Structure formats: C-alpha cells, structure tokens
Copies of this chain bind each other. A is one copy, B any other.
C-alpha cells in the first residue's frame, strides 16, 4: 500500500485542494480474498464524501485502504466542501469540472492513473452519491461506472423549497434577513422522519449552491435531464450502481430515480438493504457496488 494526503493548486476551484489517496502498491497477496483483481491493470476510483465531510472521511471512517488492496484500485478522495459537486459558472467555482476533469487530469499527470474511461470509476455517499451521478453524467467520456450510495437526489425538493420561499431565479435573499428564515442547526440525515431538504439543507446553502437559477428540474443539475440528454445524443452512458438503506430518510428519492432508470431501460443496478445513513451501510455497499462494476 501507499497511502497519504496531497494538496495542489486546482484552477477550477481556485484553491489549494486537498485529497487523500490509497494506492495498491506492494500488496501482500495472502491478504487478498479475490486475487483475480490483480490479473488486470489497476483501476482508478474517485470517492466523494457527504455533506459536512472532508477528504479523509473515506480513509479514516471508510474502508478506502481495504478497497485499494482488495480490488486493485487506486482510490482518490477529494473534497470541495458542501458544494454538491456542481459548477457555479464562474472561475474558481466549478466543482463538477474539478472532480470530473481537472482532478483526473492531475492524477494522470502525477500518478499515471485515470488514464482511460474503461479504467476509471466514481462513487460517493449522500451528497457524494448525488455528486457521483452528476459528475459521471456530466463527463460520460471520463467514467465507465458510478457507485451512488444513499444519494441526496434532492433537486426537485430544492426547487420546491426555493419556489416556496419565493427565491427561485428572481432574486437572492439579503444576508441581513436570514435570521428569521433559518434559525436552528440543520439535522443529520441519520435522524428519523425528516424532510431531507427542509431539515438538512440551510436555505442559505441552497441559495449558494443553486443561486440565481430560474429552474433546477430539467437543467444539467437534474440527473434525469442529464441522462435523457445523453441518451438522445446516443452517448455511451456510465453504468450506475445505486444502494440505499431502508431506514434512510433519502429512501424515497432513491426509489424514484431507480424507477426512472428502469423506465428508460438504463444499464443500472439498484439495491436496498437494512441500514441507516452511516458507515456500516456505506462500507458494506461500496464493496457490493465494486463487485457489480469491476
């Protein structure tokens, strides 16, 4: 194994960006359950964290290092804060382009990995599950597959909320007036019976992420619209693996997207299992996803 953290200057997000990595060098083959993964070249996996997370989440809380040597994967774990991995359209604010283009290019330049679509996967949990779907559909020529865990597929709810607040497209809210709108701390998705958007996302963050958009549903921030556009263009679409815990407040929105993929005859796998919005679920299902896609 070779593991660690690196930082570099990323143009697309105008920041010294941190990422963690775990690389399958010098693997002790006795510890590998399925040695056949070493009969092929090392593949690359970009793993995205959830809301409130950072680059070390998958390395410290998750089993990224085990994934690297068990599955012969070069795993890269970037962070762009709570950006939802979306482009904001101005220099230094393009988080999707960072994950989908600049980071793989940098990885290829420095490490030689992410050298082909066939050998490059992306995955993530919660906000990172949405991010992995969005980025793989935004850069379908870069990724052959996507592992979306407990995905925050909340684009419709976000649009409804902005509409409800009278903030869709037309104008933003003056910072001075936030106090009344957004009093208490957001809850965790692990809490039962909550509305993922109303209760998890502060209104200010919703505005920051989607600011000024006159609509969200049907745009390139909406995975269904992204998928239909690629399908119409006859583009080779990354294979999507989805998984969600039956005790997760995001269950319904994941079922909805799976139903869409089914209707469209997409190449996808959808799994539900007992579990909540936590590492016990993600560490089990990220392996199931890899077994399906590798």
Give CA–CA (A267, B3) in the complex, Å.
39
Give CA–CA (A92, B14) in the complex, Å.
21
**A89 adjacent to B16 (CB under 8 Å):** no
Asked if A53 lies at the interface with its beta carbon under 8 angstroms from chain B, I say yes
Other-chain residue from B2, B57, B82 in contact with A92 (beta carbon distance below 8 A): B82
Other-chain residue from B93, B212, B213, B276 in contact with A202 (beta carbon distance below 8 A): B93
Q: Which residues of the other chain, B, contact A23 by a CB distance below 8 angstroms?
A: 110
Q: Which residues of the other chain, B, contact A7 by a CB distance below 8 angstroms?
A: 1-4, 54, 56
Asked if A140 lies at the interface with its beta carbon under 8 angstroms from chain B, I say no
The minimal Cβ–Cβ distance linking A275 to chain B, given in whole angstroms, is: 12
* Nearest 10 interchain pairs by C-beta: A90-B204, A4-B6, A30-B190, A2-B8, A16-B54, A89-B178, A172-B172, A89-B175, A174-B212, A91-B202
Q: Which residues of the other chain, B, contact A112 by a CB distance below 8 angstroms?
A: 112
- Chain A, range 18-66, C-beta contacts under 8 Å to B: 18, 22-23, 25-26, 28, 30-31, 51-54, 56-57, 59-61, 64-66
Other-chain residue from B18, B57, B61, B93 in contact with A54 (beta carbon distance below 8 A): B18
Could you give 13 example pairs across A and B, Cβ below 8 Å?
A2-B7, A2-B110, A4-B6, A7-B54, A16-B54, A59-B60, A61-B66, A88-B178, A91-B186, A92-B204, A169-B174, A170-B171, A176-B214
Give CA–CA (A89, B276) in the complex, Å.
31
Q: Which residues of the other chain, B, contact A184 by a CB distance below 8 angstroms?
A: 91
With known contacts A15-B52, A22-B60, A92-B204, A9–B4 Cβ distance under 8 A: no
